[in-house]
Each structure stands twice: as C-alpha cells, then as structure tokens.
Structure 1
Amino acid sequence: MENQPSSDLQQTIQAMLDELTESGIEIGLQAAAYYQGKLILNAHSGVMDALTRKPVESDTLFVSMSSCKGITATVIHMLTQAGKLGYDDKVADYWPEFAANGKADITIRQVLCHEAGIPQMPNNVSMDTVLDWGAMVHEIEQLSPVWEPGTKTGYHGFTFGWILGELAERVDKRKFAQIVQEEICAPLGISHELYFGVPDAAESRVAKISGEELPWIEMPDHLLIKRMLPTHLMPITNSAWNESVLHQAVLPSANACITANALARMYASLIGDGVDGIRLLNSAQLEQATLLQTKEPDEVFMGMVAIPKALGYWLGNNESASAMGDRIHTFGHTGMGGMIGFADPKRHFSFALLKNRFSFNRGDQDTDVLIANKVREWIQVFN
C-alpha cells in the first residue's frame, strides 16, 4: 500500500465527492488521508473555477485559509524542539519592538492558544498593507491588548500568523516561507504541493474561491469579531483572494496554497512512526504541543463558542459537529468555508479536505464532517 490509496476507500470517497460537486453543493474538492503513515486516500472532484470549468487535479492548489495555521504552529514546535525558543518565553525577548503598548510580557504560549489579547486587525488597514510583510509587522508592533494577556482566549484570526511568523524569522534567521520549504516540504516530498508564496509557474494551479459570504458580515463593525476580520478584507467580499498578488504574498494565518495530500501528509508526519521514516516532532514535543490549554468561551466569537485549544492546534470537540470528531487528543485546524487538516494519533490517521466553494453552518452535513466520518468508519475496522 506504499504511497497508493486503498482502492475500496478511494472508490467510496470518490463517489461521495462526485455527488457533492455534480449536485452543486460543492464546486471543487480534494480529500486525502494517511493511516499508519501510509497514503490510503487521495481523491479529487469538480472544477477549479466555476467560470472556466478547468477540472480539479491531484496537484491543484487550494487557498487553505486558517487550515494552514496548523503548519505555522508546527514551525514553532519544531523551533522549540530544536532548543531555539521556549513556550513560556516572552515574544519580546526575540522581537523587542513587539513590547510596545502593553505587550512586553506576552508569551509564546499565550499567542499559540489565542490568549495574547491582540486579535484585532490594525485600524484602517488596507489589503495593500496586508500583503506587505514589513508593513504588517510594524502595525502588529503598534497594537494594544484588548484584554489582559493570559486572562481570556479569543481567536487571533489574522494576527496569529504575523506574530508567530515574525517570531520564527527572528529566532531562525530565515524567511518564514523558507523555513516551511526546507524543514517541512523538502523532507516530506511536498515542495510542489505547499507554498507560502506561490511561484509564477504554479499560479495556474490555484483554485478560485467562491460561495457564501461570512455569516457575520452584517454585524456591527465595532464588534471584536469584525475587528478581527474587517469586511473589506474578507474573502468573497475582496477579490484579491483570487489574484496572484495575494497568492504570492505570505500570510501564515490564511494563505498557504496547498493540496489536501500535502496537508494530510504533514499531519501524518507528526504522529506514530511518521511518514517514510520522517517524524517532524518527537513524542515528547508532540505531547506538549497538543495538550489542552483552554476550552473557555471564545471572546472573539462573543462567548458563543468554546473551542478546545492546544498550542496552535484546535482539538476534537464533543460539544459540536466537528470533522475532528469528539476525541480531545485529535488535533488540527479548520479553515474558513469548510476546510480542515488534522491528525488522530490514537487511531493512527490523518486527514485533510480542501475546497473552493465556501459554505457555513451545515453542522453534521458539512462536507468535511461527512467525508472525515466516512474515512473514520473505514479505519475503525482496523482498530
């Protein structure tokens, strides 16, 4: 079964994906899974773009949205494993300018579990600024916490990426995208399937985003959820998300362009025996990285959602429908519109689903939930 999907699972999931795209519920999809370090599923269906109707292939790149936060978190864990930083170190120890305006004592742990108190985007920030790493780093330095760091948790939807990305660059002395390519992509053989900053030659492989606007788009702008992701920067609302200028930028929270295979393979490399002898995090490091840090109601989501959070990863949740399932040891990250990547170390599998039609709030009928549950059923036969 080395690097070959399981034929019966592949056929089952392929039929499900085809039904979803042919019905119009979805436009383009990829799903991939690994079991005991071996590829058991790599399926795709539909089209990259509803207008051109170019078909999705196995190497089609999807704008992964927040599902790439798990990659960014993994970079930090690898740097910690290498002894280059510690979770309870202060960010400002490595990045002195970050200390401004009440942020001197914010720790790396607080950033990873969304307790740093700076989920808000800078006032009046434009997309041009978002696409300029140096400009955004400067803007992050000027932010002031909206709660005392460490006392609450609230989703740092955008700022999470620049804080941890700049931290990684300060510690490692390489560009964030270079760290990802050299330390994750190259060892795992996915250098052409995962980019923070898409090269010109790969731009034609990036699927176009379409679908539903975010549910909170009509909420008042003063709410923290709207300050975290202002309307004028939202996908669907802002066409830049389908343009090369965004794909070629580096947004460690939101714009990795990636295949489902690459995302599932990265998670597979974190658990068990790894993939092809590659294990990115040792068992002790993984245990620290995936330990529950908080399950308090999330301030950004107005206390209506309690997301079990580890260090940069979200965890399985038995209180709501989740593709990760209800086991707290399962870890990964969702992405806006219904994308996800995760690993279940006790069941020895990893999974990713990427898509280009955003949809929200379908509960147990969400595509990622349906497909992940079907894969989980297949795996349970072997456990």
Structure 2
Amino acid sequence: MPISVKGQCDPKFAELQAQFERNFSDRGESGASVCLSVNGETMVDLWGGVANRETGALWERDTVSIVFSCTKAATALCAHILIDRGQLDLNALVTDYWPDYGKHGKHNTTVAMMLNHESGVPAFREPIKPGGFFDWNYMISRLEDEVPFWEPGTRNGYHMLSFGWTVGELVRRVSGKSLGAFFADEVANPTGADFWIGIPEDFDRIIAPMIPYSPNPNDLLSDFTAKLISDPSSVQALSFLNNGGWKADNPAGYRAQIGGAGGISNARGQVAMYEPLANNDGRLVSSERLKNMSMVTTATQQDFTLLVPTRFSSGFMKSVDNRLLRTVANRQSCILGDQAFGHVGAGGSIGFADPECGLAFSYTMTQMGSGLLLNERGQSLVDAAYLALGYKNNKAGVWIK
C-alpha cells in the first residue's frame, strides 16, 4: 500500500519531498519526519508512514521517537548557554566544578576536553549495574572512579553514551538544575521545541518504537563493528554494549535523563531548537558563542572509538566526509555545509543549524539504517535541501555555493 506523506512543502523544496517519498517507496522507510526552516520561516514540515508496526498506528503530526545521539547537541547547547553567561569556563579544570572527578589521572581534564570527546572516558570497563543508566548519581560515581583510556587531551574518541553524564553533570553542578530541567527551562520552553531529555510523568504523546537494523550478509563490516564483535574488552564493545540493559524503547529510559542518547523529539522539535542558532537571533547564545559552536575544535584521521576520521566543534558534529572508505555498506559520512553544526543519531537521524544560509534542518525516523552516521535516506534529504538553496556540490566534503 502506498505511503501517504502529509504536511507542507514549499515548491522550492519539491525535490526534497520527492526524496522523502522515495525513502518510503524504495529505501525501506517505515515512519519518519523531516522539517526545515530558512531564516526563521518553516519551508518543509512533512511526516508519514507507520509509527508502530505492531498496532498499525500511523505517524501523526506530533509523533515523536528517541533520537539517540542527536541528544548530544541538546546537552552541548546547555553547556554553551552557561559558558555564554560566564558561569562555565571552557578552559577551566573540570575539578573546579566537580572536585571528585579528578581521581585516577583525570585531574587535568578541562571543560573543553569534555565537549571535544577528549576526556578519555568513552566507556566503562566494569559492568554497569542493571538499570544503571536510570540512576544519575550512580553513573556520576562510576565516572569519578573510571581510569581514563588515554591521557585526557592527548587524543579524541567518541564518547558514545558517557557524554551525557560528563557534560550533563557540569550543567547540573553549575546551574543547580538537572540536565533535563535546565534544557526544558532554557531551551525547549523558550523555543517551543518538542524535545525532552527525560519525559515527565504525565507525558501523553505517542512515542514511536525504533526498529533495529537487520544486517545484510553481504555488508562489509566497519572497523568499529568488527572490533565490537571480536573483542568484548575493546572500547568499541564497552561503549556500545556495557549499558546495564538499557534499550531504546524502555519506558524507564524515556523518563531517565540520558543526555548522550535518550532524547525524545521529532524533526519539527529539533528545528525549533536549532532555529535561533541558524539565524543568530540571540535568543539562546550570543554571536560570539555561536561562532565558537560552529568552529572545528577537534579532528582526527582515526577516532579512538569509531575508528574512522571524525570532526567536531565544541560538543557538536561537523561535516564528515568518509565516502572513500571501503566500508561503503556501513555509512560513515554526514556531509553538511562548512558552517553547519549539529549531530546525527544512531540509525540515521540528524538535526543541525547552518548559519551561513539560515538553515535549521532535521530528519527523524524509526527504521534504523546501517552505520553510526547518515545513510542514503537522510543524506538525500540534506542534499536536496542544499541544492534548493543554491549550493552547487559537496565534492570538497562540505556543501559549497
């Protein structure tokens, strides 16, 4: 049965709508949303498909889902708001705010290192207790007692899940509010963003369950996946699997404040968060802080965790072009504009701001794809957006006019 796509789309972005519809007809999409605004005007707001395969419930306008690591951008934004207010210093030691963190060789860790995935705690060596991700104080104690995998500041490696507590605890200690409460008060409520880091008890929205990716026997294994499978003591395995039994659609996980991967939103909700940043309107941070948020602050030819080249600004993902890697089946790229910053989520979701062209963009879905960055479904939408805005090509690894 043909999938009905609903919503609005300015004729200028007709090709983006065509690609969104093609995702359903040709690329295995199940339920999804895509939204973008330009200079504060919503130009695309589309959704379609099935929100729950078991019940047959359709994806409606206000359907939301877990957005995995897109949540990292929301957590980083909270930190930047505090930096902008002079309450948190990028160059300060973490122990200035969190004294007990400095054990086991972590005493020279700076705030910047935490945002840059350089702090050396991308995983936990000893098993996380069952349900540990739902216990904030337990996770903070585990971080304090962890021995870093490298000397902080000497390299970077994606802090897949720990990022939510390394940066989130700084937000909590400086602001006096939990990460989820600070985000709600200072970001979601002022912008009207349907985005939660920990849903409230009276939450009544439909949360679409995620559909795991089923590997194709012919897929080439990425180095990350190969290491995860072959070595259970590796950072790759520990960062991904040592999670105390946390699963994406655990109701307790929805309520927990998992700032590295547990946010609940949809494309419209993420665009609302990014719009003030895309337009430099001063609602969330100053122009000076915004510039820092869009600048590359760490890049490597081999991320210690992901084992591919990565590029980050201070807490955000930048355009990453790994198209020449031989593990093509395991998508390893996310190609954006040069000034764009945001974050992907596992399975292929994304949200970002591009101040160069006033673009705020997001795509979310339930059918997860291969790899940890974008796959064809999401990248085709990003590409169509940039082409509609007059950009010419992305051969240089970023979209250029």
Q: Distance in 2 between matches of 1:183 and 1:363?
A: 28
Aligned length: 368
**Aligned equivalents of 1:301 and 1:381: distance in 2?**
30
Q: In the alignment, does 2:152 pair up with 1:178?
A: no
Letter in 2 for 1:228: S
Residue matched to 1:291: 295
Deviation for aligned residue 1:348: 1.7
Trace 1:24-35 onto structure 2 (pairs within 5 A). Answer: 25-35=28-38
Q: CA 1:244 to 1:42, structure 2 compared with 1: closer, same or farther past 3 Å?
A: same
Cα distance, 1:323–1:317 mapped onto 2, change above 3 Å: closer
- In 2, Cα distance between the equivalents of 1:106 and 1:230? 25
Please state if 1:282 is matched with 2:286.
Answer: yes
The answer as to 2:138 corresponding to 1:118 is: no
1:24 Cα deviation from its structure 2 partner: 6.4
| Structure 1 residue 213: Cα displacement | 5.9
* Correspondence for 1:371: 381
Q: CA deviation at 1:11?
A: 5.4
Q: 1:343 aligns with which of 318, 340, 353?
A: 353
Q: Tell me the residue number matched to 1:307.
A: 310
Aligned to 1:205: 206
Q: Distance in 1 between matches of 2:130 and 2:11?
A: 45
Return closer, same or farther for 1:120/1:97 CA change in 2, 3 Å cut-off. same
Q: Please give the secondary structure, in 2, of the residue aligned with 1:332.
A: strand
- 2:131 and 2:246 in contact (8 A); partners too: no
Partner of 2:58: 55
**Alpha-carbon distance in 1 for matches of 2:292, 2:24:** 39
The one of 159, 164, 167 aligned to 2:170: 167
CA distance in 2, matches of 1:368, 1:15: 13
Determine the structure 1 residue equivalent to 2:67: 64
Q: State whether residues 9 and 375 of structure 1, in contact with CA within 8 Å, keep that contact through their aligned partners in structure 2.
A: no
Shift in CA distance, 35/77, structure 1 to aligned 2, threshold 3 Å:
same
Residue 223 of structure 1: aligned partner: 234
Contact 1:17 1:45 in 2 (8 A): no
- Quick one: which amino acid aligns to residue 221 of structure 1? P
Report SS of the residue matched to 1:242: coil
| SS in structure 1 at match of 2:299 | coil
Amino acid in structure 2 at the alignment position of 1:171? V
Identity among equivalent pairs (%):
24
- Post-superposition offset of 1:75: 0.5
Q: Which one-letter code corresponds to 1:329 in the other structure?
A: Q
* Structure 2: runs of 5+ lacking an equivalent: 1-6, 216-220, 324-331, 393-400
> Does structure 1 retain, via aligned residues, the 8 Å contact 2:348–2:375?
no
Is this contact kept in 1: 2:347–2:369, CA < 8 A? yes
- 2:355 maps to amino acid: P
Please say if residues 267 and 364 of structure 2, whose CA atoms lie closer than 8 Å, have aligned partners that are also in contact: yes
Q: Considering only aligned residues, what root-mean-square deviation do their CA atoms show, in Å?
A: 2.4
CA drift at 1:273: 4.3
TM-score by length of 2: 0.85
1:126 alignment partner, SS class = coil
SS of the aligned residue for 2:165 comes to helix
Query: d(CA) in 1 for partners of 2:292 and 2:71?
Result: 20
What does residue 395 of structure 2 align with? none
Residue 240 of structure 1 aligns with which residue? 247
The structural deviation recorded for 1:324 is: 3.9
Determine helix, strand or coil for the equivalent of 1:380.
Answer: coil
Checking the alignment, whether the CA contact within 8 Å between 1:317 and 1:328 is kept in structure 2 is: no
> 1:138 & 1:101 partners in 2: Cα distance?
13
Q: Which residue of 1 aligns with 2:132?
A: 129
Per-residue CA deviations over 1:60-101 (Å, capped at 9, x if unaligned) read 111010011111111000000011011011111111111111
How much has 1:289 moved relative to structure 2? 2.2
Q: Of 253, 257, 262, which aligns to 1:250?
A: 257
Q: Distance in 1 between matches of 2:197 and 2:42?
A: 24
For residues 101-132 of structure 1, the C-alpha deviation after alignment (integer angstroms, 9 at most, x for no partner) is: 11111001001111111111241113411111
Following superposition, the deviation at residue 271 of structure 1 comes to 2.9
2:44 aligned with 1:41, yes or no? yes
Is the 1:112–1:311 Cα contact (8 Å) retained in structure 2? yes
TM-score, length basis structure 1: 0.89
Provide Cα deviations, 1:8-27, integer angstroms capped at 9, x if missing partner. Answer: 25654444333323456111
Shift of 1:329: 2.0
**Deviation at 1:332?**
1.0
How far apart are 1:318 and its partner, in Å? 4.1
Q: Is the 8 A contact 2:102 2:144 kept in 1?
A: yes
